[in-house]
């Protein structure tokens, strides 16, 4: 199915499925308390990339090598680097902050996406989209307030690398929506494996990523495909029919679901700021989806009117 054939609602559904997988990140990290962010990111990236490579072979067969060549070189490079940087910052941040705080800092990504989308994708966000993004930032401020008041300023500051790299990834997926961009993310996964592995071996980040218990290794083998590969495939499918800023706002649903898993299975109870801020973010997401639906109906109405006249 091409970008022109896929409906907006179908794209939204795919992105929501992606969020279910992404939201498991906090839970996985809490289940491996003895590991550093570098150790986790090393093997999570490796197994994610391996799963995406298997997926590519199953879909494209003997033409798999060709799909790597179709992607423009600069897009491949930026996508791979942004993925490796973003996922590393995200996992390291999870080891320094609460799941809720880290998840919601990423809520500022729609603002970055909206600012850059006219130049990268040619899409100009409407007034309601900007309003939704600002409401999302308000939700971020509410949830992050507890972190700042707790003296976690530097740990929270690190988190702001996540929305920037995620915005670039989203915009590239949207710009090249008629191309399978999973190979570039696959390359980013292997890049994060190499970088995180080397850092862990240097002794700078504590224990080596190549010195894990069987329990942790198996969890990471599961985390890569379940929490990253499958959600990224769905997110790429959603990018075919969902505009960049709405795509980025929908991805923020992770901020609502992520703390739930950590609370249900790891005993990390979200504070009142997380609950209030989460409600504000949900409002922002709904506003963005409704704004896009209204824009589409307006376009259809205009087309009908032009035909009648």
What number is the average pLDDT over the span 16-25? 89
Residue 216 sits at the vertex; the CA angle it makes with 219 and 26, to the nearest 5 degrees, is 60
pLDDT score of 276: 80
Nearest to 291 by CA among 8, 13, 11: 8
99: pLDDT confidence band, cut at 50, 70 and 90? low
pLDDT score of 302: 53
Residue 224 has pLDDT above 90, yes or no: yes
Q: What is the pLDDT of residues 160-205, one digit of tens each?
A: 788 888 889 889 988 998 888 889 999 999 999 999 999 888 877 6
Residue 69's Cβ-count burial label (10 Å; 0-12, 13-18, 19+) is exposed
Helix axis angle for 182-202 and 73-94, nearest 10°, is 50
pLDDT score of 211: 87
């Amino acid at each position: 199915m091409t970008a022109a054939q896929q409906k907006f609602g179908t794209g939204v559904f795919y992105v929501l499925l992606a969020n279910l997988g992404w939201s498991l990140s906090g839970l996985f990290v809490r289940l491996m308390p003895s590991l550093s962010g570098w150790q986790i990111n090393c093997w999570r990236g490796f197994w994610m990339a391996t799963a995406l490579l298997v997926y590519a072979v199953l879909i494209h067969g003997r033409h798999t090598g060709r799909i790597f060549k179709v992607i423009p070189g600069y897009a491949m490079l930026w996508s791979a680097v942004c993925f490796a940087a973003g996922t590393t910052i995200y996992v390291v941040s999870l080891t320094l902050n609460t799941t809720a705080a880290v998840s919601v800092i990423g809520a500022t990504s729609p603002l970055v996406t909206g600012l850059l989308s006219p130049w990268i994708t040619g899409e100009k966000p409407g007034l309601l989209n900007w309003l939704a993004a600002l409401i999302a930032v308000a939700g971020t401020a509410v949830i992050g307030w507890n972190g700042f008041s707790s003296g976690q300023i530097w740990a929270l500051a690190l988190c702001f690398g996540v929305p920037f790299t995620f915005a670039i990834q989203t915009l590239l997926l949207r710009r090249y929506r008629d191309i399978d961009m999973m190979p570039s993310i696959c390359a980013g996964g292997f890049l994060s494996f190499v970088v995180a592995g080397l850092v862990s071996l240097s002794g700078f980040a504590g224990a080596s990523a190549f010195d894990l218990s069987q329990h942790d290794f198996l969890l990471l083998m599961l985390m890569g495909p379940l929490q990253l590969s499958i959600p990224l495939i769905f997110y790429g499918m959603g990018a075919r029919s969902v505009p960049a800023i709405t795509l980025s706002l929908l991805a923020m649903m992770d901020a609502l679901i992520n703390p739930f898993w950590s609370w249900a299975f790891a005993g990390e109870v979200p504070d009142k700021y997380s609950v209030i801020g989460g409600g504000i973010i949900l409002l922002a997401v709904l506003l963005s989806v409704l704004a896009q639906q209204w824009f589409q109906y307006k376009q259809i109405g205009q087309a009908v009117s032009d035909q009648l006249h």
